[in-house]
Amino acid sequence: MYNLSDASTVRKILERHGFNFSKALGQNFLIDPDVCPEMAENAAVSENCGIIEIGAGVGVLTAELCKRAKKVVSIELDKRLLPVLGETLSEFDNYKIINADVLKTDLKELINEELTDCDEVCVCANLPYYITSPVIMKLLEDELPIKKIIVMVQKEAAERLTAEVGSRQSGAITVAVNCYAETRLLFEVPKTSFMPSPKVDSAVIELTMKKGGEGIDDPKFFFSMVRAIFNQRRKTAVNSISSGMGIPKAKVAEALKSLGFPEIARAESFTLGELVSLAKELKKLCS
């Protein structure tokens, strides 16, 4: 049994396999003995649960998940890590490594094929930061039968993802995430907890899937309005929506007025519910 939180142990294993870290694949492996057990403890909601992990690395988090869940399916893009994982995870028989790009993987099919005998499914990962937003949006939009997502992301991304809609830190992704999940920042992780050490600090967040939707009847229209507002967040909503969506200013102003907003309202003026109402009103006036 290896101590995968020990930097010199991990270095020796990797050297033996002739492995060099790939910056392009966001390979910063966790070497903090407290972080993976805590992430796994939050993700493995019961002994009978299934876990999807994104990016196994040397298996430091995978091993903690295997100890607590019924089955772990880990998607790892770098095929050089497969023999490494064969060695580091040899004591477990409840995992499967899929050598694939998570963004090109049909996760619904994966759950149906690999995790149907689990009571519930959660996602747990120390994400490769270059694909943080697309991975999170894929997990939320693919209508997966998952209970929650526990992921490590860059600290600034964690703050944005868990910000309150309408706060200064919120952005289009905050709105999008809040449509699907309750968000919570669990704990921060310093850059020294990784090998090699990245330039930025990190944080672990929890996204618990919401049961019902937010009453969004046309997601395409809603999200294009949200992007228009937040892409030009310093402008008034009248100007940003009008230029971003090609809708006459008078129509946008009318929609805002009918909902009781002043003409100077901008990105930070709206709660999630108010954005949903604004999109509905705007669509009504435009059709």
* CA distance between the termini of the chain: 64
Pick out residues in 33-62 that bind ligand SAM (CB under 6 A): 54-57, 60-61
* Nearer CB in complex with ligand SAM: 89/265: 89
Q: Does 200 bind ligand SAM (CB under 6 A)?
A: no
Q: Does 32 bind ligand SAM (CB under 6 A)?
A: no
Q: Which stretch binds ligand SAM (CB under 6 A): 99-107, 182-190, 219-227, 279-287?
A: 99-107
Q: Does 106 bind ligand SAM (CB under 6 A)?
A: no
* Residue 41 backbone phi and psi in degrees, to 5: -60, -40
* Nearer CB in complex with ligand SAM: 54/252: 54
Geometric angle at alpha carbon 224, from 222 and 226, rounded to 5°: 70
- Least distance from ligand SAM to the Cβ atom of residue 56, Å: 6
Q: Does 76 bind ligand SAM (CB under 6 A)?
A: yes
Handedness of CA 239, 240, 246, 247 (dihedral sign): negative
b/e map of 253-262 (b: 16 or more CB within 10 Å)? Answer: bebbeeeebe
Chosen residue from 5, 27, 88, 132 binding ligand SAM by CB under 6 A: 27
- Least distance from ligand SAM to the Cβ atom of residue 27, Å: 5
Q: Which stretch binds ligand SAM (CB under 6 A): 42-50, 123-131, 179-187, 201-209?
A: 123-131
* Nearer CB in complex with ligand SAM: 42/232: 42
Q: Does 75 bind ligand SAM (CB under 6 A)?
A: yes
Q: Find out whether 56 and 125 touch, Cβ atoms under 8 Å.
A: no
Q: Which stretch binds ligand SAM (CB under 6 A): 65-73, 96-104, 218-226, 239-247?
A: 96-104
Closest residue to ligand SAM: CB criterion: 55
Q: Which stretch binds ligand SAM (CB under 6 A): 106-114, 124-132, 250-258, 263-271?
A: 124-132
Residue located via tokens 């949200």: 226
* Nearer CB in complex with ligand SAM: 56/205: 56
b/e map of 43-75 (b: 16 or more CB within 10 Å)? Answer: bbbeeebbbbbbbbbbbbbbbbbbebbbbbbbb
Chosen residue from 25, 185, 209, 216 binding ligand SAM by CB under 6 A: 25
Q: Nearest to residue 35, comparing CAs of 160, 157, 192?
A: 192
Size (the chain), residues: 287
Neighbours of 158 (CB within 10 A): 24
b/e map of 185-210 (b: 16 or more CB within 10 Å)? Answer: ebeebeeebbbeebeebbbbbbbebe
Residue 177, CB-side half-sphere exposure with 13 Å CA sphere: 28
Task: Using CB under 6 A, list all residues that contact ligand SAM.
Answer: 25-30, 54-57, 60-61, 75-78, 101-103, 126, 128, 131
